[in-house]
Amino acid sequence: MDEPLELGPVVFTHKAQCRDCYRCLRMCPVKAIRLENGQASVVPELCIACGTCIRECPQGAKAFRNDVALVRRLLAHRPRVLASVAPSYVGLLHPWERQRLPPALRCLGFSYVSETAVGAWHVAQESTELLRTASSQEPKLCTACPAFVRYVREYRPALAPFLMPLASPMLTHARLLKARFPDAAVVFIGPCVAKKDEAGRSAGLVDAVLTFEELLQWLEDEELDLSAFEESDFDELAPGSAGLFPLPGGLVEAGGMDERALSESSIAVSGFDELREALDSLESCPQALLVEALFCPQGCINGPATGQRQTLFARRLAVLREGRRPLSAPPRPEHASTWELPSPSPQPLAPVDEEELRRLLEETGKARREDQLDCGACGYPSCRAKAEAVLRGMAEREMCLPLMRRLAEKRTDKIIETSPNGIIIVDAQLSILHMNPAFRHFFLCSDAVLGKKVSYLFDPEPFETLAAGSEAQVECTQRHEAYNLICHEIFYALREEGQFVGIFVNITNSQGNKRKLDELRSHTVQQAHELLQHQFQMAQQMAKFLGEHTAQGEALVKNLLALALTDERDGG
């Protein structure tokens, strides 16, 4: 092969599809997701590649690295490429499809198709042997699930010594295959994303990992229809009950550790919540117990890259039915899974300055313990954890629902509080719920009237119209003599809240001015009339003397009168 392909991180975000919902962060068991400008991105150093976020993201914005190109390269350049297929394939495929999977893989170029459960069988046998010879009273943690192993090593280092020194079925199988075919490349095909990470850390033992989703897509891209293949077996089938490995409890059965379905010496946990609880318990109180932990709820059959062709129930049933094979001639134990586990490597979390933390909490309204709701809406389990994440550059200050709500509410309040218009909100019984300062000023009241009927302040007729439901909005101009107030008023209903809002635009001043002008005008007319009357009387009296004078005076007065009347008409 010329030069290795540059492999990106196993899990990543499609930025375009990510729309700040924080669901990935909420679900991420190790909080390996950084939020920046409302967008989530996976921090590869922290990520244990469990794939939870891929399963959970409602927008499909989380993805795993597609390795089909890598596998094509292997097929083109390596003398032989072997496929190791995880046992959960039986849950994914119909019976007739299962029989045609090996030929389809051979058609893609794989020269040998084997079940990973072959490795699982060896793991189970060695686990049994290990447990029999182990004398200590310590817990034993199974290592089949790479996400679990990485979680313990990096996030629960105290428990890391209890991990059994055994390789996973995938690595065990790869070891067996490479011992037989030294020149071969091994490609694991399964439901798991963490295996991609595990393979990358296996020093070339597993050359590539494909998920079932990648495989099915690849077949589709090649226009290979499973129905067009002759049925054909795997080149190697797993013995015994190793096919049950993808289910919680599969190891105990495959290893023949206990014939009973439920045993007090082992506990199978799946899904992060169960697993964390078990680890918490063991950390506080270590006891001799085999912990078979699978990171995905209900085990590998629910792996994040299983595809959605069958229900989880159907997948589980298929594995239960097909996972057991007669163990006619058990293979020779080869100690192929003995494995020196790397020492724990706890995630180095940058220390947080307490003073900065306190200031941040204060700024976000969480200074007091009782203000720290620990609601988890941000994705972090506590306000303190979230604040630490902010200080470490992993989270944004605004990622807090109560904080954001308060901020948002403050903004609305401000608009209402500073409005020059009077605003009142009443409930269905027309009792006053809220008034803004302008309203209080207009109607000369204080918060003391809160809860009182609005009729206490003014005629509630517009509200009653709304309450009657006949109209959605009432608009009018009213004069409130008692308050020397003229308002243009708008009333509308908040039907869902069962509340009514009144907005009062004060137009008293403009109304007053008009009246003054009107008064002036009518006063002028009246004075003109009075003058006219007066002058008529004068004229009648003076007519005898000043006939000509009178006619002039009359013309003048008429002019004046006409002017006044015209003004009035224009202004009206």
Partner 1 sequence: MNTSSTMLIDGRQVSFSNERNVLEVVRKAGIELPTFCYHSQLSVYGACRLCLVDIEGRGIVTSCSTIPEPGLVIRTQTPELRSMRKISLELLLANHEQACPTCSKSASCQLQALARKLGVHRVRFKPVHKHRPLDLSSPALVRDPNKCILCGDCVRMCAEVQGIGAIDFARRGHDVFVGPAFGKGLAEVDCVHCGQCAAVCPTGAIAPRSHIDQVMDALDDPEKVVVAQIAPAVRVALGEAFGLRPGSSTMGQAVAALKRLGFDKVFDTAFAADLTVLEEATEFLGRMHSNNLGEQAQCPMDNNLGNQAKCPMDQDLGEQAKCPISKKLGEQAKCPISKKLPQFTSCCPAWVSFVERHHPELLSSLSSCRSPQQMFGAVARELLPTQLGIERRHLVVVSIMPCTAKKVEAGLQKFSVDGRPDVDFVLTTQELAQLIERAGLRFHELEPASLDLPLGFKTGAGVIFGNTGGVAEAVLRYAGEKLGGHRQGSVEFHAVRGLEGIRTASVRFGEQTLRLAIAHGLANAKELIRRLQSGELEADLVEVMACPGGCVGGAGQPITSSDEVLGKRAQGLYDADRTLQLHKSQENHLVAELYRNELGDCGGEKAHELLHTSYQHRRRIVEDSLALGQAGANALCLRVCVGTNCHLKGAQDLLHRLLRYVHEHELDAAVDVQASFCFERCDRGPTVSIEDEVIERCSFEQAVSALERRLLSLPQSALGALRAASGEQQPSAE
Could you list the residues that contact partner 1 (CB under 8 A)? 79, 94, 96, 99-100, 102-104, 106-107, 113, 227-235
Bridge partners (DSSP) of residue 82 are 112, 186
Nearest approach, Cβ of residue 187 and partner 1 (Å): 17
Smaller CB separation from partner 1, 114 or 127: 114
Three-class DSSP category at 500? strand
Alpha carbons within 13 A on the beta-carbon side of 282 = 29
Nearest approach, Cβ of residue 106 and partner 1 (Å): 4
Smaller CB separation from partner 1, 225 or 356: 225
Nearest approach, Cβ of residue 180 and partner 1 (Å): 15
User: What is the rounded (10 degree) CA torsion for 436, 437, 441, 443?
Assistant: 20
Nearest approach, Cβ of residue 346 and partner 1 (Å): 47
Smaller CB separation from partner 1, 97 or 258: 97
Smaller CB separation from partner 1, 36 or 225: 225
Contacts of 458 (CB under 8 A, 6+ apart): 443, 478, 480
Smaller CB separation from partner 1, 239 or 250: 239
* Backbone φ, ψ for residue 451 (5° rounding): 90, -15
Bridge partners (DSSP) of residue 62 are 13
Contacts of 350 (CB under 8 A, 6+ apart): 392
Nearest approach, Cβ of residue 101 and partner 1 (Å): 11
541: left (phi over 0), alpha (psi -120 to 50) or beta: alpha
Smaller CB separation from partner 1, 90 or 257: 90
Smaller CB separation from partner 1, 233 or 356: 233
Bridge partners (DSSP) of residue 321 are none
Contacts of 554 (CB under 8 A, 6+ apart): 535, 539
Nearest approach, Cβ of residue 189 and partner 1 (Å): 16
Nearest approach, Cβ of residue 222 and partner 1 (Å): 13
Structural contact between residues 127 and 142, judged by C-beta atoms closer than 8 angstroms = yes
Nearest approach, Cβ of residue 102 and partner 1 (Å): 6
Contacts of 99 (CB under 8 A, 6+ apart): 231, 232, 233
Smaller CB separation from partner 1, 231 or 274: 231
Three-class DSSP category at 36? strand
Nearest approach, Cβ of residue 103 and partner 1 (Å): 3
Amino acid letter, 171: L
Smaller CB separation from partner 1, 107 or 565: 107
Structural contact between residues 447 and 453, judged by C-beta atoms closer than 8 angstroms = no
Question: Any idea how long the chain is?
Answer: 572
Smaller CB separation from partner 1, 183 or 355: 183
Q: Which two tokens stand for residue 300?
A: 């590998």
Nearest approach, Cβ of residue 82 and partner 1 (Å): 13
| Burial of 352 per CB tally in 10 Å (0-12, 13-18, 19+) | middle
Smaller CB separation from partner 1, 231 or 371: 231
Nearest approach, Cβ of residue 224 and partner 1 (Å): 10
Q: How far apart are CA 434 and CA 450, in angstroms?
A: 7
Nearest approach, Cβ of residue 334 and partner 1 (Å): 23
Q: Output the CA–CA distances (angstroms, integers) from residue 464 to 148, 431, 480, 494, in the order listed.
A: 66, 12, 18, 14
Nearest approach, Cβ of residue 269 and partner 1 (Å): 37
Q: What is the largest CA-CA distance in the chain?
A: 154
Smaller CB separation from partner 1, 108 or 193: 108
How do 11-13 and 62-64 pair as beta strands? antiparallel
Q: What is the DSSP string of 209-238?
A: EEEHHHHHHHHHHTT--GGGS-----SB--
Smaller CB separation from partner 1, 228 or 563: 228
Nearest approach, Cβ of residue 9 and partner 1 (Å): 35
| Burial of 142 per CB tally in 10 Å (0-12, 13-18, 19+) | buried
Contacts of 170 (CB under 8 A, 6+ apart): 84, 86, 116, 119, 146, 188, 190, 195, 198, 199, 206
Smaller CB separation from partner 1, 41 or 99: 99
